[in-house]
Each structure stands twice: as structure tokens, then as C-alpha cells.
Amino acid sequence: MVVKLDASLQGVIHDVASQLRVGSSITLQSADEGRVSCTDVDGRIVGYLGLEQLQTLPLSVGGGEVRSLRKQQGVLSEVLVRFTDAPAQTAAPVGPQAKPAQASYEQSSTRLGRKRLERLVASDDLRSTLGDKRLQAAIQTIDGAADREKALEAALRTDPDFTQFCDKVLATLSTAA
């Protein structure tokens, strides 16, 4: 069983953290002053994890992946990282020389390709639906939940407007295949 912990980094170093993207790797470093340094792939400190958060992780955890980056008034305010005891995956090279990576089943089924993402962005119907403040609040509730999967399942069971929005997203994606 894979152990997961979603934790918000403390003492975020904005110059470094502003260069992160969702999916960026984060590595745990040495402990000092009641906290553990969290670094990016270049070894630069991004922020810190409190020892009280670290105590809930097994010793095999050496890092995690950025789950979300939140901004308030255009300034990065939170870096949420999912730490797991699963083996880390090596990042694929980026740029014109990069060869297409062989995606695992999980990655291929949960990550959108460029064509599908562009299809979502181009959908006037989805953009219009996303203007609904109640739908925005539902999405923010799911995104901010400690267990996003359970929050998503609950919203799908109890919120017909959210379910309708998800159906529109899936319909848009199926036409982009």
C-alpha cells in the first residue's frame, strides 16, 4: 500500500517556487531547526516541511510531487506537495531533442495530451459554464480537500450541476480523441 501525505510547504522561497509547475519533483533534505528542507531538481530550497508533518510519513519517503500552486493577488501563496513512499519516477527530457517517453498506464489515463487540452480550452460551452460562481466554489472545495478523490466522488453524488459540468468535459474530451 502506498502511503500519501498532501502537505503545504512552510517558508516558501518565492524566487525558486515561482519556477515550479504542477508535477515538479520535490526532494526532502536534512532537518534543522524543527523542519526539513524541500528542494527542487536543481537542489535549490523551495520551502520547508514541519517535523510534525514529517512524523506521519514512513522513513522510505524521500520526496514528492507538486500537486498545486496557489496564488493570491498574483503572488504565490501556497505550494501543495504530495509525498509518497512510492518509488520516484525520473523526469523525461524536455525540448526538441527529447524522445517521446513511454507513459505508464496511470500516467496515460490521467494526463491530458496537448490536443485534448486545447479542445477543452477552445470550448465556449465549458468556459461559459465555468463562469458559474457555485461551480467555481465546488471545484475549489474539491481542490482544497485533504482527500481530493473522496471530495470529487461526493460532489458527483450530490451536486447535479457539477455532474453536468463533468459530463460536458468528458463529452468534449471524447470528441478530441
The pLDDT of residue 89 is 45
Residue range 6-25: mean pLDDT, rounded: 86
Percentage with pLDDT > 70 across the chain:
72
Residue range 115-127: mean pLDDT, rounded: 84
* Tens of pLDDT, residues 37-69: 888 888 888 888 876 766 666 555 667 888 888
Q: In sequence order, which ranges of 50-147 are alpha helices (DSSP H)?
A: 51-54, 105-110, 114-122, 124-129, 133-144
DSSP conformational letter for 117: H
DSSP conformational letter for 10: B
Which pairs with CB-CB distance under 8 Å and at least 24 residues apart come from 142-145? Answer: 143/68
* Tens of pLDDT, residues 68-97: 888 888 788 888 888 776 554 444 333 333
* Helix (H/G/I), strand (E/B), else coil: 7: strand
Q: How far, in Å, CA of 158 to CA of 97, rounded? A: 47
Provide the CA 67 distance to its chain's centre, in angstroms.
Answer: 2
Angle (CA) 111-113-118 rounded to 5° is 120
